[in-house]
Amino acid sequence: MLEPMHANQVVGKYRQYDQHLYKQGFRHLLVTDIEVPYPDGKLIVSRTDTQGIITHCNQSFVDMSGYTEAELIGAPHSILRHPDMPTLAFKGLWDEVEAGKIWHGYVKNLRKDGAFYWVYATVIPNVREGVVVGYTSVRRKPSRAKIAAAIALYQTLKLKEGNHWEGPTQ
Amino acid sequence: MSTEPIFQLTVSPDFTPAHISGWYIFNTWLQRNLNVRAHCELYDDFESQRQAIRDDRVDLIYANPFDAAMLVREKNFTAIAKAIGVTDECVIAVAAESSIQHLEDLKPGARLAKTDDPDINLIGMIMLESVDLNDDSVEPVVVDSYVLVAKALLRGTADIGFFLKDSCDEFSGAIRKQLRPLVHSQIGDIQHILLASPRLVAHSASLRHALAEMPNNPQGNSVLESLGFMGWQLLEQEDTEFMIDMIDTLKAK
Ligand SMILES: Cc1cc2nc3c(=O)[nH]c(=O)nc-3n(C[C@H](O)[C@H](O)[C@H](O)COP(=O)(O)O)c2cc1C
């Protein structure tokens, strides 16, 4: 079960959400509008089992998420789910990879301290001897123009979902 | 006449020129330690090496990570080891007096000097992607070596250049002073690897043992020195599968 976020670990003024997560129930989220810039030259890498439970993450993943490796391994990947992201984006991700395909997209991720970071993510199925044994995601630094386009798209998707975008618009 | 097979050792064509003789020395070491016959074949470019792989002529290859997918997933090569003390990181640099201070200063049409080294070019383009540049919006200036990438920057025939980080360490102080790095990759998980063909697989246990022992005997040590490696780290097949998955995510458009 995912830990709720704690106000004493969050830096700055925050918005609050009760985010429903698949197989996790609701998680209470504390979200600030502080952006942590993507580190130049690095790749943020993680692997999950077929259920989306984290089985491996690299040092950049640990550094950017704000969690320790011990907190991450065994946690569902939705530990990073930011409430500004539309549900449809993740439906697209799972539809693609469960069909054995590659998924790309721009993702706003939530850190343990309530801040966020944007990534350009690619997720692929890990096929071993013909069987999908898990998924790998490699994130890279998105351009500001691509982030702006993603925000515009996610604003529209949020409206479709009967919701609206409450985050910064650039 | 002996009917023993002659195994072919080859090396990714982006090997540093200073270490060519090292690979012939490694080949001699290989024959003595595995008690096999082997021949070291160095290809001028990636395409001719890939053709040799397709034709099943290669038995042991120090492979560019970019080619690992084909070797492991199509040709059933087995991961043996990776070298300690070398990396496959990319530096994007400009001439010291260039007006370009940050990647963000680059405009479409920028002239990019690079070699044909596929993994460094892939990593370099990923760093340029963060400022909305791609293969269609840069003008490539392809040269044969990293020294020539440096020269293209110094002569002003290119605006930026992709370098293998380790190759910059071999430049003279004079060249290094005239270059200015803008950004460098810190990936860590993507590296050249030594892979064995199915034909050689019967020898892979003794090969692994001999590689692991190299730093512990004077003969092995001098071979490592001529290759510029500190030793070998043995690999599990899954380490390599993971690296291939990572590269697949980077190659995917
Ligand atoms: C390999 C892999 C990596 C993922 N990376 C992220 C991520 O970085 N951030 C994120 O919010 N969701 C990521 N997801 C999707 C989550 O599993 C989850 O679907 C998402 O956070 C939405 O939560 P929900 O499915 O519980 O609604 C990833 C999934 C996989 C398979």
Domain locations along chain B: 6-86+189-252, 90-184
Q: pLDDT band at residue B170, thresholds of 50, 70 and 90?
A: confident
- Name the residue with tokens 């050689």: B200
pTM: 0.94
CB contact under 8 A, A138 and B242: no
pLDDT, one tens digit per residue, over B226-238 is 999 999 999 999 9
Q: pLDDT band at residue B253, thresholds of 50, 70 and 90?
A: confident
Average pLDDT along chain B: 95
pLDDT above 90: percentage of residues in chain A: 94
What's residue B126's pLDDT?
97
What's residue B14's pLDDT?
87
Is there a shared CATH topology between the B6-86+189-252 domain and the B90-184 domain? yes
Residue B40 in 3-state DSSP? strand
What's residue A71's pLDDT?
96
Query: What would the mean pLDDT of A73-93 be, rounded to a whole number?
Result: 97
pLDDT, one tens digit per residue, over B198-223 is 999 999 999 999 999 999 999 999 99
Q: How far apart are CA A5 and CA A115, in angstroms?
A: 12
Shortest CA distance from A47: residue in chain B: B242
Whether the CB of A137 is below 8 Å from some CB of chain B: the reply is: yes
What's residue B119's pLDDT?
93
pLDDT at B249 over 80: yes
**DSSP track, B119-135:** HHHHHHHHHHHTTT--T
Q: pLDDT band at residue B169, thresholds of 50, 70 and 90?
A: confident
Query: What stretches of A2-83 show up as alpha helix (H) in DSSP?
Result: 59-65, 69-72
Q: Cβ-count burial of A40 within 10 angstroms (0-12 exposed, 13-18 middle, 19+ buried)?
A: middle
Q: pLDDT band at residue B17, thresholds of 50, 70 and 90?
A: confident
pLDDT, one tens digit per residue, over B85-119 is 898 999 999 999 999 999 999 999 999 999 999 99
Q: pLDDT band at residue B2, thresholds of 50, 70 and 90?
A: low
User: CB-based contacts of B150: which residues, under 8 Å, 6+ apart?
Assistant: B161, B163, B171, B175, B178, B179
pLDDT, one tens digit per residue, over A53-63 is 999 999 999 99
pLDDT at B162 over 90: yes
Whole-complex ipTM: 0.93
Instruction: Tell me which residue of B6, B2, B23, B4 sits closest to B14, measured CA to CA.
Output: B23
A35-160 CATH: 3.30.450.20
What's residue B128's pLDDT?
98
pLDDT at B241 over 90: yes
pLDDT above 70: percentage of residues in chain B: 99
Domain locations along chain A: 35-160
Of B126, B187, B249, the CB nearest to A136: B249
What's residue A2's pLDDT?
87
Query: What would the mean pLDDT of B121-133 be, rounded to a whole number?
Result: 97
User: Domain B6-86+189-252, what architecture?
Assistant: 3-Layer(aba) Sandwich (3.40)
Residues framing ligand 1 (Cβ under 6 A): A 21-22, 46, 48, 52, 77-78, 80-81, 90, 93, 97, 107, 109, 123, 135, 137
Q: Are B42 and B10 in contact (CB under 8 A)?
A: yes
CB contact under 8 A, B189 and A58: yes
Q: Are A85 and A93 in contact (CB under 8 A)?
A: no
Q: pLDDT band at residue A170, thresholds of 50, 70 and 90?
A: confident
Q: pLDDT band at residue B58, thresholds of 50, 70 and 90?
A: very high
Q: Using beta carbons and an 8 Å cutoff, which residues of B are at the interface with A?
A: 126-127, 129-132, 183-189, 241-242, 245-246, 248-250, 252
Residue B155 in 3-state DSSP? helix
What's residue B100's pLDDT?
97
Whether the CB of A114 is below 8 Å from some CB of chain B: the reply is: no
* Domain B90-184 fold: D-Maltodextrin-Binding Protein; domain 2 (3.40.190)
Q: How far apart are CA A78 and CA A82, in angstroms?
A: 8
Q: Are B250 and B49 in contact (CB under 8 A)?
A: no
How do beta strands B231-234 and A116-128 pair? unpaired
**Shortest CA gap B164–chain A (Å):** 13
Whether the CB of A128 is below 8 Å from some CB of chain B: the reply is: yes
Helices and strands of chain B, counted as H and E runs: 10, 11
Average pLDDT along chain A: 96
pLDDT at A72 over 80: yes
What's residue B96's pLDDT?
97
Q: Whose CA is nearest to atom 31 of ligand 1?
A: A52
Distance B242 CA to ligand 1 centre (A): 19
